[in-house]
Amino acid sequence: FPEVFAEGKVDFEALRETLGEYVEDKQERYSFTWHGKGRARRIAQTPSAGTLLPCPEESVDWDTTQNLFVEGDNLEVLKLLQKSYHRRVKMIYIDPPYNTGKEFIYPDKYQDNLATYLRYTGQVDGEGFKLSSNAESSGRYHTNWLNMMYPRLKLARNLLRDDGAIFVSIDDHEAHNLRYLLDEIFGPENFLVQFSW
pTM of the model: 0.69
In a domain, 196, yes or no: no
84/180 same-domain check: yes
**Residue 137's pLDDT is what?**
45
Question: Apex CA 14: angle with CA 13 and CA 20, to 5°?
Answer: 90
Higher pLDDT, residue 55 or 136: 55
Residue 114 falls within a domain, yes or no? Answer: yes
- SS3 of 102-159: CCCCCCCCCCCCHHHHHHHCCCECCCCCECCCCCCCHHHHCHHHHHHHHHHHHHHHHH
Q: What is the pLDDT of residue 165?
A: 97
Please check whether residues 88 and 110 belong to one and the same domain. Answer: yes
Q: What is the pLDDT of residue 118?
A: 61
Residues 150, 97 share a domain:
yes
Q: What is the pLDDT of residue 133?
A: 47
Give the residue numbers spanning the domain of 120. Answer: 32-52+67-190
The pLDDT, as a whole number, for residue 123 is: 62
Residues 3 and 92 in one domain: no
The rounded distance, in Å, linking the Cα atoms of 65 and 59 is 9
Are residue 176 and residue 82 in the same domain, yes or no? yes
Domain count, the chain: 2
The H-or-E segment that residue 12 falls in is helix 12-18
Note whether 74 and 134 are same-domain residues: yes
> What does the pLDDT look like over 2-46, one tens digit per residue?
888 876 778 888 888 888 766 565 665 778 999 899 999 999 999
173 with 82, same domain? yes
| Inside any domain, residue 157 | yes
Residue 32 contacts residue 26 (beta carbons within 8 Å): no
Under the banding of pLDDT at 50, 70 and 90, the label for residue 191 is very high
Does some domain include residue 130?
A: yes
**Cα separation, 105 vs 145, whole angstroms:** 16
Q: What is the mean pLDDT of residues 49-76?
A: 87
Is 184 part of a structural domain of the chain? yes
- Report pLDDT digits (tens) over 95-153: 988 887 765 455 555 555 556 656 655 666 777 666 654 444 445 678 889 999 999 99
Does residue 154 fall inside a structural domain? yes
Q: Which residue has the higher pLDDT, 65 or 22?
A: 65
